[in-house]
Amino acid sequence: MVRTTPVEDPGDLFSRLPDAAPYAWVRRGEGLVAWGEAVRLDVPPGPGRFDWARDRLAEIFGEAHVDDDVTAPGSGPVAFGSFTFDPDAHGSLLVVPETILARRDGRAWLTTVGERRLDAVTPLRDPGRIRYGDGSLTAPEWQHAVARAIRRIRSGLLEKTVLARDLNAVAERAIDVRLLLARLAARYPECYTFSCAGLVGATPELLVRRTGETLESLVLAGTIARGSGQADDMARGAALFASEKNRHEHACAVASVRQALDPLCAELKIPEEPELLVLANVQHLASPVTGRLPAGTSVLDVVEAMHPTAAVGGTPTGRALDVIRDLEGMDRAGYAGPVGWIDARGDGEWGIALRCAQIRGPRARLFAGCGIMGDSDPASELAEAQAKLRVMQYALEG
């Protein structure tokens, strides 16, 4: 039994979460938060994982008795999901929460699966002092991997690859995911703040939003740190926009998205020139994409077609992934994989899991990645990765 009813404006969605492995997808105060597990699906690895997930969810949703007084995207039964970057890696999952609280376009609603439970909301817990340690590679080792990737690109093997690095953190006490969500949402309101099975972050990159037959996506590639003041900020933005390296990196990402979506969409609109997306810590080159999907196309069909984009994999995809496996020296797990939600109508929103960390008790594994081109500089790429890691460091430390 699934019941969705309108409710009064709940205010801050994160303030309503109990301390029990919360799920979230929120931007500018709107979206969904959830808790509890009515259904948990561990998605088998392999090339057919998205088809398996779509079909299995359709069975589960089809067997549910749904009483939905809202009938909006995200009402009725909803599954939150996280897929690993590598299709052959274990760890992809889908969860149908027991309780979902949502707000969108001036409306708010509550969905419960089974009997309604009232979960107590406890005060947020500070994790205390944070200690950091090297992840899979030290900073010099990662720079060396970048240099090796640059040599392969210059040899003509490929145009671009993306190398990620991780950083380990240990807190004095168990890390309260709700505190991280609140801090991220307050500092990065333009991003999609998410939580799914311990994977927590604030991604600027919308992989796909499906609302009926309408598709939306946002391509991000090309990055520069924010300036020390308004004049410096504007100068850095102009330099990013004029950078041949960053413009080429962005063009590769746009071409990747176009190639993935052309076979799916009856109409597809991509601007000829990117725009600047200014966030609290960095600026990105951004291209908003819109399209029209055939009836019956699930958001997971689009996710399958688009992942991995050139923004997180490289160009051409196959060779770029080979370089990642050879040089990166780590398992990305859910980092740079799709994360988001899907409802019983096939509507949903999915992002690329960037600016994130995997939380387990007092431990966190932080991730960041950089697009590597033939004219990249290892020291500059390391500085960019460190700037991106500061997103989750801020969330942990406040």
pLDDT (tens digit, 9 = 90+) per residue, 255-294? 989 999 999 998 999 999 999 999 888 899 999 999 999 9
In the structure encoding, which two tokens stand for residue 134, read together? 């090297």
pLDDT of residue 116: 67
Peptide bond into 308 cis (omega under 30): yes
Query: Does 374 score more than 90 pLDDT?
Result: yes
3-12, 113-122, 146-155, range with the lowest pLDDT = 113-122
CA dihedral 7, 351, 385, 398 (to 10 degrees): 10
pLDDT of residue 117: 66
pLDDT in tens, 186-237: 999 999 999 999 999 999 989 999 999 999 999 998 889 888 889 999 999 9
CA 355 – CA 205 distance, rounded (Å) = 10
Peptide bond into 45 cis (omega under 30): no
pLDDT of residue 311: 86
CA 344 – CA 258 distance, rounded (Å) = 27
Question: How many other C-beta atoms are found inside a 10 Å radius of the C-beta of residue 181?
Answer: 25
DSSP lists the bridge partners of residue 336 as: none
Beta-carbon contacts of residue 230 (< 8 Å; ≥ 6 apart): none
Where residue 55 falls (left for φ over 0; alpha for ψ -120 to 50; beta otherwise) is: alpha
CB 220 within 8 A of CB 204: yes
Q: How far lies 312's CA from each of 161, 162, 163, 393, in Å?
A: 8, 6, 8, 21
CA 237 – CA 293 distance, rounded (Å) = 34
245 tagged catalytic: no
CB 288 within 8 A of CB 316: no
Name which residue leads in pLDDT, 93 or 229: 93
Name which residue leads in pLDDT, 116 or 319: 319
Q: Which amino acid is at 230?
A: Q
Tell me, rounded to whole angstroms, the distance of Cα 343 from its chain centroid.
18
**Catalytically annotated residue among 205, 249, 304, 384:** 205
**Catalytically annotated residue among 98, 141, 159, 160:** 160
109-118, 161-170, 183-192, 279-288, range with the lowest pLDDT = 109-118
CA 235 – CA 237 distance, rounded (Å) = 5
Biggest CA pair distance of the chain: 62
pLDDT above 90 coverage of the chain, percent: 89
| Strand 363-372 with 78-82, pairing | unpaired
| Strand 66-68 with 2-6, pairing | parallel
CB 324 within 8 A of CB 162: yes
Query: Does 383 score more than 80 pLDDT?
Result: yes
397 tagged catalytic: no
Question: How many other C-beta atoms are found inside a 10 Å radius of the C-beta of residue 101?
Answer: 20
CA 189 – CA 187 distance, rounded (Å) = 6
pLDDT of residue 118: 65
Beta-carbon contacts of residue 311 (< 8 Å; ≥ 6 apart): 162, 205, 219, 220, 221, 253, 256, 352, 371
CATH of domain 2-120+131-397: 3.60.120.10
HEC string of 156-173 equals CCCCEEEEEEEEEEEECC
Query: Would the pTM of this model clear 0.85, i.e. be above it?
Result: yes
Beta-carbon contacts of residue 115 (< 8 Å; ≥ 6 apart): none
Q: How many residues does the chain have?
A: 398
In the structure encoding, which two tokens stand for residue 111, read together? 């969905």
pLDDT above 70 coverage of the chain, percent: 99
pLDDT in tens, 30-84: 999 999 999 999 999 999 999 999 999 999 999 999 999 999 999 999 999 999 9
Mean pLDDT over each residue of the chain, to the nearest integer: 95
Question: How many other C-beta atoms are found inside a 10 Å radius of the C-beta of residue 336?
Answer: 27
End-to-end Cα, the chain, rounded Å: 40
pLDDT of residue 282: 87
In the structure encoding, which two tokens stand for residue 119, read together? 């979960």
